[in-house]
Structure 1
Amino acid sequence: MSTALRSFLFMVLFYTGSLFFVLWAMAFGWVAPLTVQRTATGWSRFHRGCARWLLGQKVVVEGDLPIGPYLYILKHESMFETIDVLCLFDRPAIGAKRELFDIPLWGGIARRYGLIPIERTAGASALRTLRAAAKDRIAQGRAICLFPEGTRVPHGETPPLKSGFAGLYSLLGLPVVPIAIDSGRVSPRGKFLKRAGVITYKVGEIVPVGLDRKDAEIRVHAAINALNRR
């Protein structure tokens, strides 16, 4: 099957199916946040299935992914990982751009799910709000996942981390698990065509608490870009 046909079938099936999940979350999400969270997990598994069987994209995890009170920091190359991260963790609380919460319908679902809004232009007050939200999700036993580059970047590019990472690292007092991903090789940002291949998550060495902020940034930056050297 050609790449173009695979990509077209994926777009039709995934986005049509996504509408069902959104409507289900809207209809029953008011009952309890857990309903929205379970629906989101089902949506993520549906997405991974579509990627696997329509696009021919297989997911591989290199290294042991520790589960516990950690701050998970991920490379961001494609829409793929923003959805697929729900397959890696149980109901992860993901940092998302504040403006996404203003999208009609989707924004309300995002709030009920428990995504963490990130105000990119604000200062210390926004960081304190972010810390409070992260602490609340940790108390619920949920993983905290952030994409510290702030936006999707083409595979091979290594922009600096946004300043919010260092502040959150210091405020939360959690060890960091950096995770590299090379999704941009087969599902590049803004491209209709998505190629078959292997998408790899590479779990880096845990960054302990108490390091100098600059040292922590250097370690995390190197680890999440580990797959760019392949």
Structure 2
Amino acid sequence: MTEPRATPAEVLRSILFYALFYGGSVVLALIVTMRLLLPGRGFIRTVHSWTRWHRWCVNHVLGIAVRIEGAVPSGPVLVALKHESYFEALDLPVLLDYPAVFAKRELLDVPGWGRAGREYGLIGVERDQGAKALRAMIAAARQRTAEGRVLAIFPEGTRVAHGTRPPLQAGFAGIYKLLALPVVPAAVNSGATYKRRWKTPGTITYRFGETIQPGLPREEIEARVHAAINALNPPAAV
């Protein structure tokens, strides 16, 4: 799909955003690298500073406000989010309290970044994981919940275009069953403003749905989560 033509103001805002956010990211990446070598929670604080810096740039440079509808979950729950852009991936530590995020396993194999991700507590997901890999993933997730952390997952598996409603990945229902945790679905409409190369002012909304208790059949949990994470999508064209 071709992007609408950007205005000169949108182009200038976007260039300034890229310069400030990614320039600041280089500095924070160096600090993260140093703090990985030191004991204590300095590393975690630096990561959270980086994500807050991203949110500040989104708000004050791009002119994109962030609105939250519904109660932000905490504690041992599984938050299932729509995934339309890098915005929500970067924003999760601002939105949630020290979340443990399910991430593609290959991301944890990237030199430097992978070590930082593992140290923060990301949970690696393999596309075609065998029984051994699945057990390791569930064990890691249970360890994070035992620490009182929120789990977060993108059940569609990857970023999707705003307005599209692909089916959930097959592994989501299995994770739900094995973890036996309540699920809080969350819609987000970041693709309409943030995913474009030249980003547009506006509002990104998170909408948290009703908590879904564990133990539901696969068809029901998938249908309920699918409907809830697409609550901010425009109706499909007829």
Residue 228 of structure 1 pairs with residue 233 of structure 2? yes
- Letter in structure 1 aligned against 2:158: T
In structure 2, the residue matched to 1:206 is: 211
User: What's the C-alpha RMSD, in Å, of the aligned pairs?
Assistant: 1.3
In structure 1, the residue matched to 2:60 is: 53
Secondary structure at the residue paired with 1:200? Answer: strand
In structure 2, the residue matched to 1:219 is: 224
| Higher normalized helix content (fraction of residues) | 1
In structure 2, the residue matched to 1:21 is: 28
**Structure 1 residue 153: Cα displacement:** 0.4
**Structure 1 residue 34: Cα displacement:** 2.7
- Letter in structure 1 aligned against 2:105: R
In structure 2, the residue matched to 1:94 is: 101
Instruction: Write out per-residue CA displacement over residues 31-85 of structure 1, whole angstroms, 9 at most, x where no aligned residue.
Output: 2363222111111110000000100010000111232211000000000000111
Q: Is the 8 A contact 1:33 1:113 kept in 2?
A: no
- Letter in structure 2 aligned against 1:200: T
Partner of residue 197 from structure 2, selected from 192, 205, 211 = 192
Q: Is the 8 A contact 1:93 1:115 kept in 2?
A: yes
Cα distance in 1 between the residues matched to 2:39 and 2:146: 17
Partner of residue 63 from structure 1, selected from 70, 94, 98 = 70
Residue 110 of structure 1 pairs with residue 130 of structure 2? no
The 5 Å alignment of 1:173-192 reads 173-188=180-195, 191-192=196-197
**Structure 1 residue 21: Cα displacement:** 1.4
Secondary structure at the residue paired with 1:121? Answer: coil
Secondary structure at the residue paired with 2:41? Answer: helix
Q: Please, what TM-score do these two structures have when normalized by structure 2?
A: 0.92
Moved more, 33-42 or 203-212: 33-42
**CA 1:75 to 1:32, structure 2 compared with 1: closer, same or farther past 3 Å?**
farther
**CA 1:214 to 1:170, structure 2 compared with 1: closer, same or farther past 3 Å?**
same
**Structure 1 residue 152: Cα displacement:** 0.5
**CA 1:71 to 1:51, structure 2 compared with 1: closer, same or farther past 3 Å?**
same
Structure 2, unpaired ranges of 5+: 1-7
Secondary structure at the residue paired with 1:226? Answer: coil
**CA 1:94 to 1:32, structure 2 compared with 1: closer, same or farther past 3 Å?**
farther
In structure 2, the residue matched to 1:11 is: 18
Secondary structure at the residue paired with 2:233? Answer: helix
**CA 1:24 to 1:176, structure 2 compared with 1: closer, same or farther past 3 Å?**
same
**Structure 1 residue 126: Cα displacement:** 2.5
Q: Is the 8 A contact 2:79 2:185 kept in 1?
A: yes
- Letter in structure 2 aligned against 1:44: T
Moved more, 23-32 or 75-84: 23-32
Cα distance in 1 between the residues matched to 2:156 and 2:210: 19
**Structure 1 residue 127: Cα displacement:** 2.1
Q: Please, what TM-score do these two structures have when normalized by structure 1?
A: 0.95
**CA 1:33 to 1:169, structure 2 compared with 1: closer, same or farther past 3 Å?**
farther
Moved more, 219-228 or 31-40: 31-40
In structure 1, the residue matched to 2:163 is: 156
